[in-house]
């Protein structure tokens, strides 16, 4: 099922503090550094809202303690598995990202902003919480990297960042609908939406970009774009030079190969660019800044940070949403 129209819900009546940022973490790898960097980045820009880290059971206790020590609310979720077609994905690890669907169950929050752990926030984006209710808001993707080469739009040079390239008439089809990058999006948790997401996933064939493709399909009728400054996909710097002023960028998504700051060597393509080096340095400046470490106001605050997700998760919240079945995805 997919939302047809804006929700007529009680979300707008909920209190100001029922908002939060949320990120996702799996396994025992070094992505925990990204989550820590994100927590410190949100603190640097003086965000008014907490960071929830949705973790899978395989995240070790050591990493959980690191997150808690940085003021994050750690919340364990169970994995979500799609239909068993393991070779359908552009990158093998994308399959685990379907577990992000669990965040729609965090219904104690009226509105949340998802941020990938490979993202850093360089300016306050709390204003996104005030985006119109009933819609999913995100930044349009760029289709110019080779990983998109399986699509016809890649060969004809069509991209959402290139309005001068029109959709060829000989394609005998409409141009693709708006498509957002799932590294950042604004959404409203809802139990009916959550159940519909899980049900629809089980009858939807997997596609190369896993949960990103799925979310674009599911929310197609209620998606609204926000400016690229809220999720600068790093490859836009070389694919569409001049399209974004770095001085106005609020969020940087370190998603191309070799761009994760904690793994950066500068050896991968485009990683030796001066603007990329500058953005890598800015990430490390935040990560290494001890003044941005979480400081509990009292021992009670720290204890609350460790247990708040368990307490508030047990409090039900009423909500209403209209749902209807989607059309099957195009072949």
Give residue-wise pLDDT tens across range 59-85: 999 999 999 999 999 999 999 988 766
Instruction: Report if residue 316 sits inside a domain.
Output: no
Nearest to 224 by CA among 330, 140, 109, 100: 140
- The range of the structural domain enclosing residue 131 comes to 18-151+179-309
Output the average pLDDT for the chain. 84
The pLDDT, as a whole number, for residue 159 is 73
Nearest to 132 by CA among 222, 52, 215: 222
Q: How far apart are CA 197 and CA 326, in angstroms?
A: 11
Does the active-site annotation cover 100?
yes
Q: Secondary structure of 28-50 in the HEC alphabet?
A: CCCHHHHHHHHHHHHHHCCCCCC
Block residue for tokens 């799932």: 182
Which one is catalytic: 100, 105, 250, 260?
100
pLDDT at 100 over 50: yes
- Counting the structural domains of the chain, the total is 1
The encoded tokens of residue 128 equal 């996104």
Rg of the chain (C-alpha set): 20
Bigger pLDDT: 47 vs 5: 47
Block residue for tokens 């994760």: 260
The pLDDT, as a whole number, for residue 4 is 43
Q: Are residues 100 and 81 in contact, defined by beta-carbon separation less than 8 angstroms? A: no
CATH number of residue 298's parent domain: 3.90.550.10
The pLDDT, as a whole number, for residue 53 is 99
Instruction: Report if residue 324 sits inside a domain.
Output: no
């Amino acid at each position: 099922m997919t939302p047809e129209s804006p929700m007529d819900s009680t979300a707008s009546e909920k209190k100001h503090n029922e908002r939060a940022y949320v990120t996702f973490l799996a396994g025992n790898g070094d992505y925990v550094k990204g989550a820590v960097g994100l927590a410190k980045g949100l603190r640097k820009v003086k965000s008014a809202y907490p960071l929830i880290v949705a973790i899978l059971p395989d995240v070790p206790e050591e990493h959980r303690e690191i997150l808690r020590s940085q003021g994050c609310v750690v919340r364990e979720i169970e994995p979500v598995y799609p239909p068993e077609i393991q070779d359908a994905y552009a990158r093998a690890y994308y399959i685990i990202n379907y577990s992000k669907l669990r965040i729609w169950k965090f219904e104690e929050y009226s509105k949340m902003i998802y941020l990938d752990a490979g993202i850093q926030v360089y300016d306050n984006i709390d204003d996104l919480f005030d985006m119109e209710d009933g819609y999913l808001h995100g930044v349009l993707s760029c289709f110019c990297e080779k990983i998109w080469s399986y699509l016809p739009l890649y060969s004809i040079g069509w991209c959402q960042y290139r309005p001068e390239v029109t959709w060829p008439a000989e394609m005998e089809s409409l141009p693709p609908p708006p498509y957002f990058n799932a590294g950042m999006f604004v959404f409203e948790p809802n139990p009916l939406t959550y159940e519909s997401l899980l049900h629809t996933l089980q009858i939807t064939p997997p596609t190369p970009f896993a949960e990103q493709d799925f979310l674009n399909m599911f929310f197609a009728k209620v998606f609204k774009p926000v400016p690229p400054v809220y999720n600068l996909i790093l490859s836009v710097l070389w694919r569409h030079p001049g399209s974004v002023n770095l001085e106005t960028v609020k969020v940087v998504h370190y998603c191309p190969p070799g761009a994760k700051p904690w793994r950066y060597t500068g050896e991968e393509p485009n990683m030796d660019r001066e603007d990329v080096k500058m953005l890598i340095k800015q990430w490390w400046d935040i990560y290494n800044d001890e003044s941005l470490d979480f400081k509990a106001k009292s021992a009670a605050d720290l204890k609350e940070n460790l247990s708040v997700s368990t307490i508030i998760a047990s409090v039900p919240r009423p909500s209403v949403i209209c749902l209807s079945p989607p059309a099957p995805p195009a072949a």
